[in-house]
Structures are given as C-alpha cells and as structure tokens.
C-alpha cells in the first residue's frame, strides 16, 4: 500500500486495539477500514466480538471471519493479528469470558511501550470487561472508547450494544478504567446517504465495492426483518455509528462531552445513580460527523483510488 502523504509526529502516534461485532450489520466495517488507513494509528490487534445469540448462535465467529475478509480485500492480511473474543455475554459481574482477545488486551496494556493505548469497542463491551476482570491493573494503562448505551440521563430504551452484555457494562462502569462513552443519541448523528456512498466509497478498490455492496445487502435484509422500524433502516440512508471511535482518536472533540458520575445499568438499559458518585466517566453529547466522514473518504481515495 502507498506510503502516507504526510508525516505524523512520533509523540502523537497511538496504539489501537479494535474490538468489533463486525458481522452484526454494515457500519463496523467502515470504522475498521478507516482506522487501518489512518497513519496515526498503530493497530496492534483486531478482535471479533459477539453480538448476542438472538440472530446467530456463533456471532463472535462470524465477526472474526468478517474482519479477516476486510483485511484480505485491503491486501493487509499481515497488518495485525485477528483474535477471537468471548462467545457470549458475561454470566455475572465477577467471571470473565477468557479469550485470546481479552488476554491480548491485558498483555498490550501492561507492556512497556510508552505510546498511548486506546481500546475501541464497537459492540458489547464483553472483551474489555473480561480483560479488566482478568487483571484490574490495566485500568490506568489505556483509554476505552465505547459505542453503546441509550441517551442520558435516564436511559430506559434497549440499545443494541449495551443490551448484549449489561453485566459487562456494569463491570466497566464500576471500574476505574478511563472510559469515553458515545451513547445512541450521539452515534446516530453519523448519517450518510447511499448516493454519497456510491460516489465516494464504491469506486475505490475491492474494499470500496465491498463496503457499498454489503451495505445494500444489509439494507434490504433490514427492511424485511424490521418492516415497522424505519428509524433503523430508512431506505436510502444509514448511520455509520461505529465511526466515532476513529474521529475521537483523531480529535477528542474537547468541548463536546460531559464528565459525569458513572451510573449502574438495569435490565432494559435504565441508568440509575449510585450512592458513591466519585467514579467519573466521559460521555459525549455531540460529534462532527463531516470531519469523520470526509477524512474516511479522502483516505479511501488516496489509498485505493485509481
């Protein structure tokens, strides 16, 4: 692949672990490709995450295989290891799902590399919670960006990523991990039309064609599976809800988040205050979708354009 057209100061380069339920729908793929094309990021590993067992019993394996497919289409099969995460949600808040992915998070967090480490979670936060349960010493060694959770302050609507492992969400909320949460009302700002994807993604290599064609396939499946849910699949547009992980590592949107006491989460994804409010997390209230999307378009064109 071509060399980046600009140099990144060494002090600003980041280590990144991507944990993704890549087969759940069609947005994870865009975030993964974008991250791999970003020269500021040294992607240390990609982890296939589960997305429950309601639609597929082997969802983690499907995510793992989807990541491998993306790397093959990008001719980047050797860029970083692809690992399997936990197969299902945590059974309680004390027992980790031991997996190669969770063990790698621990190993990378505790290594001596001085560069900042981000673990970005684009699905259920099972693998990160498991890593913390395996070794809580990782807490001050990394920053977590999690796409998940309903709107604050009350929650109360089932959000896909949180609902797929509420125990894991509570483990992370209870921990002292540096957590940046991007809830549903914010990640759904990443709206894009199919006409723009056709113009700015599909022409760029095998990966651009796959990203577009896969989106069309998922769009038609969603219309059949959720005939009454036009907010999820409107027909001629989608939301690239996982792409904020890339944008926030590039620019943390300093004036667009609140630092709040971490809640507890109940069944049904309700937020409830805790008696001790000393544990604080960062919760985003806005993101610049055009900054993120235009950066992705430019990189696809540079690396895969004719």
Please check whether residue 108 lies inside any domain of the structure.
yes
Using one digit for the tens of pLDDT, what is the confidence trace for 140-190? 999 999 999 999 999 999 999 999 999 999 999 999 999 999 999 999 999
CB 151 within 8 A of CB 183: yes
Residue 135 has pLDDT above 80, yes or no: yes
Q: Which pLDDT belongs to residue 55? A: 74
Return the exposure string of 188-209: e unless at least 16 CB atoms fall within 10 Å of the residue's CB, then b: bbbebebeebeebbbebbebbe
Q: What is the three-class DSSP state of 271?
A: strand
Confidence of residue 1 (pLDDT cuts 50, 70, 90): confident
Please check whether residue 14 lies inside any domain of the structure.
yes
How far is the C-alpha of 47 from the C-alpha of 100, rounded, in Å?
A: 9
Please check whether residue 1 lies inside any domain of the structure.
no
Burial class from Cβ neighbours inside 10 Å (0-12, 13-18, 19+) for residue 42 reads middle
Q: Which pLDDT belongs to residue 57? A: 84
Average pLDDT over all residues of the chain: 96
Q: Which pLDDT belongs to residue 183? A: 98
Greater confidence (231 vs 258) lies with: 258
Please check whether residue 5 lies inside any domain of the structure.
no
CATH code (residue 131): 3.90.245.10
Please check whether residue 3 lies inside any domain of the structure.
no
Please check whether residue 4 lies inside any domain of the structure.
no
Using one digit for the tens of pLDDT, what is the confidence trace for 254-296? 999 999 999 999 999 999 998 888 999 999 999 999 999 999 9
Q: Which pLDDT belongs to residue 212? A: 98
Q: How many domains is the chain partitioned into structurally? A: 1
Using one digit for the tens of pLDDT, what is the confidence trace for 121-130? 999 999 999 9
Greater confidence (296 vs 1) lies with: 296
Residue 215 lies in domain: 10-304
Q: Which pLDDT belongs to residue 2? A: 85
CB 175 within 8 A of CB 137: no
CB 51 within 8 A of CB 123: yes
Q: Which pLDDT belongs to residue 114? A: 95
pLDDT above 70 covers a percentage of the chain that reads 100
What mean pLDDT is predicted for residues 211-220? 97
Confidence of residue 225 (pLDDT cuts 50, 70, 90): confident
Please check whether residue 75 lies inside any domain of the structure.
yes
Q: Which pLDDT belongs to residue 277? A: 85
Which DSSP state fits 188? Answer: T
Using one digit for the tens of pLDDT, what is the confidence trace for 49-67? 999 977 788 999 999 999 9
Please check whether residue 183 lies inside any domain of the structure.
yes
Burial class from Cβ neighbours inside 10 Å (0-12, 13-18, 19+) for residue 236 reads exposed
């Amino acid at each position: 692949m071509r060399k980046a057209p600009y140099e990144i100061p060494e002090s600003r380069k980041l280590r990144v672990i991507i944990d993704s339920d890549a087969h759940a729908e069609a947005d994870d793929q865009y975030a993964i490709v974008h991250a791999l094309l970003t020269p500021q990021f040294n992607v240390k590993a990609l982890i296939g995450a589960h997305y429950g067992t309601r639609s597929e019993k082997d969802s983690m394996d499907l995510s793992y295989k989807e990541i491998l497919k993306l790397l093959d289409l990008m001719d980047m099969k050797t860029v970083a290891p692809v690992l399997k995460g936990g197969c299902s949600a945590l059974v309680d808040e004390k027992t980790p799902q031991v997996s190669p992915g969770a063990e790698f998070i621990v190993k990378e967090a505790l290594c001596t590399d001085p560069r900042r480490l981000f673990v970005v979670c684009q699905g259920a936060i099972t693998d990160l919670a498991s890593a913390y349960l395996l070794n809580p010493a990782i807490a001050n060694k990394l920053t977590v960006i999690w796409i998940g959770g309903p709107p604050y302050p009350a929650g109360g609507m089932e959000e896909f990523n949180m609902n797929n492992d509420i125990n894991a969400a509570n483990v992370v909320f209870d921990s002292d991990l540096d957590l940046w949460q991007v809830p549903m009302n914010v990640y759904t700002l990443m709206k894009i039309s199919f006409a723009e994807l056709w113009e700015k993604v599909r022409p760029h290599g095998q990966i651009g064609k796959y990203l577009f064609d896969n989106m069309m396939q998922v769009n038609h499946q969603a219309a059949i599976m959720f005939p009454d849910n036009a907010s999820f699949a409107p027909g001629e547009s989608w939301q690239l809800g996982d792409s904020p992980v890339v944008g926030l590592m590039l620019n943390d949107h300093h004036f667009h988040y609140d630092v709040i006491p971490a809640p507890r989460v109940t069944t049904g994804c309700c937020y409830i205050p805790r008696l001790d409010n000393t544990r604080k997390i960062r919760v985003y209230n806005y993101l610049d979708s055009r900054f993120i999307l235009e950066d992705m378009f430019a990189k696809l064109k540079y690396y895969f354009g004719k």
